[in-house]
Amino acid sequence: MSKTLKIKGEGFKPFEIEIEDLTLDKREELNVFIWKMFNGKKGMFGPSINVIRLSTTMTDEQINELSNEQIFQAAIEISNIVNKKKLKK
């Protein structure tokens, strides 16, 4: 079951993306990209794109239509939603 995520930020019109349900393996891979996004020495752009590729159904063409700011904000919002605290049952 996918989730719709509304991306908001300064300097661009809000937009929505569909977040796929992630398997544990995909979450592990996603968190590697998130770590690189914030800690890598090569910048945020590449890891941000990979976060979006891995967690959505967006094509490269759709991602390429986004501004850098939209890509960064989408990747941050995705990392927040995917890694939010899990509630104990």
pLDDT score for 3: 85
pLDDT score for 38: 87
Residue 75 and residue 51 in contact, taking contact as beta carbons nearer than 8 Å: yes
Give the integer Cα–Cα distance in Å for 14 and 1.
Answer: 23
Give the integer Cα–Cα distance in Å for 57 and 20.
Answer: 7
pLDDT score for 89: 57
Tell me the domain boundaries of the chain.
Answer: 22-82
pLDDT score for 69: 94
pLDDT digits (tens, 9 = 90+) for 2-56: 788 899 988 899 999 999 888 889 989 999 999 898 898 888 999 999 999 999 9
pLDDT at 87 > cutoff 70: no
Please indicate whether residue 40 or residue 69 has the higher confidence score (pLDDT). Answer: 69
Q: Any long-range contacts for 42-51 (C-beta under 8 Å, 24+ apart)? A: 44/72, 44/75, 45/71, 45/72, 47/75, 48/72, 48/74, 48/75, 49/75, 51/75, 51/78, 51/79
pLDDT at 86 > cutoff 70: no
